[in-house]
Structure 1
Amino acid sequence: MPVWGYTKTTGPHTWAVHFPAACGTKQSPIDIDSGRGEELTDVAPLSYHYREDACGAITNTGVGWKLLTGGDNPGEVEGGPLPSRYRLEQIHMHWGGTEQEGSEHTVDGKAYPGEVHLVHWDCENYATFDEAVSKPGGLTVLGVFLELGEENSELKKVIEALQKIPHKDMTSPMSTAVNPLGLLPGGAYWNYDGSLTTPPCLETVNWVVFKTPKTISQEQLNELRKMRTYAPDESEPKDEFKGQVIQNFRPPMPLCGRGVKECC
């Protein structure tokens, strides 16, 4: 049985047993109070420098899909509230079993059906992602809400690739590369200090959560829930989801006095 997951026996309420950081005071995600953000002033716009073919492979992690970057420099983001340049490491997504849940961050108590995370690391002060991941401010994650609507053309490439990686630990090249810029809505965002939303839940993330959602279709959500949490040579787990990735989100964590800034 996996050490962590999203079932009754492996879900977020159990993570602290093996990952003590999950009990910290700067945990993510959070519920964002849209009326109480401290306005960010005199900040430069966020600036993106991504390669259109930045993500060349996709893997089934057993808790969802993850796009893997290739090459020496798949692209970077800087500006805004970021103190450094941050290089793209991977992209993944969270969703739920119904259309009323799925995003990790919530806004005024409201959840979206999904949330995409673009994970970056500080490439000015550290040589690798593994070095940066444990350092305060070593990571920046861009969070994008997904609302039910039209088919998402960039995620369509991901959905099509899932047919090649139905089971855990399967990896496949992307026949059509995903352009990270196509996943971002741009515009206003919230910013706060938090953590990885999955174990080991290290509190090293400078979060940027965009206010404007992108869309995802009902059909696309249905396809995501068909992913398997077990490897081809393993038996189907006897859990409530019957070995499918029906949901993979962590609920909001206490703010513990942290401030949330907003850029309009």
Structure 2
Amino acid sequence: MDGSPVCPPRTHRTLPGPTRPPERNLTVRRGADPSAGVAREEPGRNLTVRGDANPSAGVARGESFDASSPYHTAAASAEWPTFDQAKATQLVDAYRAGGGNPDFVFKTTTTRQAFAEFLQAQMAAIGIHVTVQTYDLAQFSSSVLQGGDFQLTTWVGPFDNPDPGASRLLHSGGNGNYGKYANPQVDQWLDDAAATQDPAQRTKDYQQVELQVNKDLVVDFFSRSYLSTITKKDVKGMDRFLSRDMWFAGTWLDR
């Protein structure tokens, strides 16, 4: 096609829930987290929109934060567990021996049944039993996701720019923070980054956010997709939001 795409990214991610997430204990979370315990063609993700197979990206790989972004640091990537099935099994076994129970319920939509079975099988390989429950989209959105009734679930949503993308997902008041993650220091960094006029301070704030949320193992990204609008090559300035809204105020013809 003789045209140019306008492609905002969307991400598929897993979210630990506010009921009894698997697991509040960060030691066993490092074993149970899909980056450590799940074998994938593209190795471990961190708190990131991942678009390539490099396991060392930052809070939002791709459009907002990638290896070349000033908001990303190698220190943040180092906080995220790499794939090590043997170590993951050891952590899970030790947790059970100490009286803990890492088993959990995974809730998702009927359209993600295959992914649920994949995750269930991979968790079984390291000694964690996962009960899968699927719902139609309406029930899932209202009762499970917005109702906060889950231990682990999936969601597809936008992660476009640091502001509002990071705040929407990671701020305690974020409208996409369905897992109810709450860290006052992260809130402060996000608020400061959104308000400051100093680029150096904004960079420092987002670097701190990336580092802390990777330490906290808040969310795991699995894939990125695009909603595309194709235009002819001489159409410039097309602006498309992730909500699919089209804005033509700055559109012009390069003729």
Q: Compare the two structures and name the one with the higher helix fraction.
A: 2
TM-score range, shorter chain: under 0.3
Greater RCO (Cα-Cα under 8 Å, separation 6 or more): 2
Q: Compare the two structures and name the one with the higher strand fraction.
A: 1
Could you state the TM-score of these two structures normalised by the residue count of structure 2? 0.25
